[in-house]
Every structure is written in structure tokens, then in C-alpha cells.
Amino acid sequence: MAKTKTSATVKNPRQRLSRNERQRQLMDTAWRLVRAEGTDALTLGRLAEQAGVTKPVVYDHFGTREGLLAALYRDFDSRHTARMDAALAESPATLQDRATVIAEAYVDCVPAQGREIPGVVAALVGSPELDRVKRDCETDVMQRCHAALSPFAKKNALSTARLRGMLGAADALSYATANGEITIAQAKDELAEIIMAMVKR
């Protein structure tokens, strides 16, 4: 007589994640690892161990440690732009409101991520991978800000040089809040004033 399989002898098959789901799992695990132990602890091997996957899986997604760090930077940037886009879509169409929304979205992004993103950037200093990723992300943000602010500016007033200056100020003020040098409210107010002054020049 054939034995019937009991629930105790039947093994549940391991759930297979789609590539996008696996990527999200690995990114979330990487952020937790950086938060807990710092960027120096983040290696592809350690990530595989923490995520419960084999090393080839992690290598397939990121290729190198620099690729992983660049992916974390892109992840951070995409959340920032999504937050800004949503806020701009709901804001009144005035210069002050648009400047305030951009300032709030930018300043809130760094403290929301904590000290992890400065560590990621520091780990990639001098990396061609980060240079390329940062350029792409900054270009995208400048284009979004240009579209939001151009109705209030004179023709050709929002030059690349001015938008670059705005981003430099935004980065400096955001990281100053992360370091506790200034308050979030101070950073937002100052950045909004800088944006409005840039548009009115």
C-alpha cells in the first residue's frame, strides 16, 4: 500500500521572486546593512549572506560593489524626484509655492534617508560610475525644476549655470541638516529664497 504524504513530509517550495522583486529585496537589504554597520560593511558577498541568496545572484544584479552603490544612489534619487513630482502636481501655480515645494522635497529627502546616502556618496568619490549616475540624476532634476519654474522666469533666465548653483545650495543645505548644523526649517526657508531669487534675476 502506497504511503500518503503528510504535511510534515511535504516541503514548501521556495518562493521565486521576479527579477524586479529580487532587485527590490536586495536594495532594501543593502540599505538596512548600511544603516546598521556603515558603507564599509557593504560588499556583494555580505549582501548575499544578509539577503539569503547566493553570490552569483547579487553579481547578476549589480556586477560590482560600485554598481551596487550607484544603484543605491539612483534608488535614493528616484524617491526624491517622485516626492517632488507629486508635491508639484498638487501645489498652486505661483512662484513662491513652486519654490517652497522644491525646497521642501529636496531638504526632506536627505534627513528621511539618514546618514546612509552621504556614506554611499563618500564611498563612490572618484568613481566613474558615480560621476555618470550623478550627472544623469542632476540633469533630470534640473529639467524638472526648469519646467516647474520657467513660467515665472524671463526668457532664457534659467540657465544651466543658475540651475547648477541651485543644486549646489540644495545639497549643502540638505547635508547641513543631516549633520545637525542647521534645522530643517532653516534649510527649507533659505533654499526657497535662493530659488525665488534665481528665477527673478
Q: Which tens digits make up the pLDDT trace of 49-82?
A: 999 999 999 999 999 998 999 999 899 888 888 8
Q: Residue 72: enclosing H or E segment and its boundaries?
A: helix 65-90
CATH 1.10.10.60 intervals, the chain: 17-63
- Residue 45 clears pLDDT 80, i.e. is over it: yes
| Residue 84 cell numbers, joined | 517632488
- Residues 11-28, mean pLDDT to the nearest whole number: 78
The domain over range 17-63 is classified in CATH as 3.30.460.80 = no
Q: CA-CA distance, 90 to 14, in Å (whole number)?
A: 43
Where is pLDDT greater, at 14 or 134? 134
% of residues, the chain, pLDDT over 90? 54
- Residues 167-188, mean pLDDT to the nearest whole number: 90
CATH code, 73-200 = 1.10.357.10
User: Quick check: 151 and 134 in contact, CB under 8 A?
Assistant: no
**The one-letter amino acid at 131:** D
The pLDDT of residue 111 is 63
- Residue 173 clears pLDDT 70, i.e. is over it: yes
- Residues 128-146, mean pLDDT to the nearest whole number: 88
- Best CA proximity match to 169, nearest among 144, 189, 150, 152: 189
pTM of this structure: 0.76
User: Quick check: 62 and 45 in contact, CB under 8 A?
Assistant: no
The pLDDT of residue 129 is 78
CATH 1.10.357.10 intervals, the chain: 73-200
- Residue 162 clears pLDDT 60, i.e. is over it: yes
The pLDDT of residue 183 is 94
